[in-house]
Amino acid sequence: YNQNQWANASDAAAPTPIESSLLILRGLHARWVAMLEHVPESGWSRPAIHPERGEVTLEALLAIYASHGEKHAKHITDLRAAKGW
């Protein structure tokens, strides 16, 4: 998805509780777990096309997503520490 378009969607500025976004992530991750548990061993090295990175394997895509999540978590914990929360 285009994260800039997502961030600028009309509902993005609406005052909604963070729980709404967390529920979306939890649901997405639950679906991914269900799918990834059924990937055969040969599927992890199978190439796919990423719109920004070109050809990558499923294993590499999962590593990229995990790293992306860790970066977001660090932003949150750094902000909390800076605010004294």
Contact 55, 42 (CB under 8 A): no
Task: Tell me how far apart the terminal alpha carbons of the chain are, to the nearest angstrom.
Answer: 32
Say what the pLDDT of residue 20 is: 86
Give a three-class secondary structure readout of the chain.
CCHHHHHCCHHHHCCCCHHHHHHHHHHHHHHHHHHHCCCCHHHHHCEEEECCCEEEEHHHHHHHHHHHHHHHHHHHHHHHHHHCC
Q: Kindly report, residue by residue over 28-75, the tens digit of the pLDDT.
A: 999 999 999 999 999 999 999 988 899 999 999 999 999 998 998 999
Contact 21, 29 (CB under 8 A): no
pTM beyond 0.75 = no
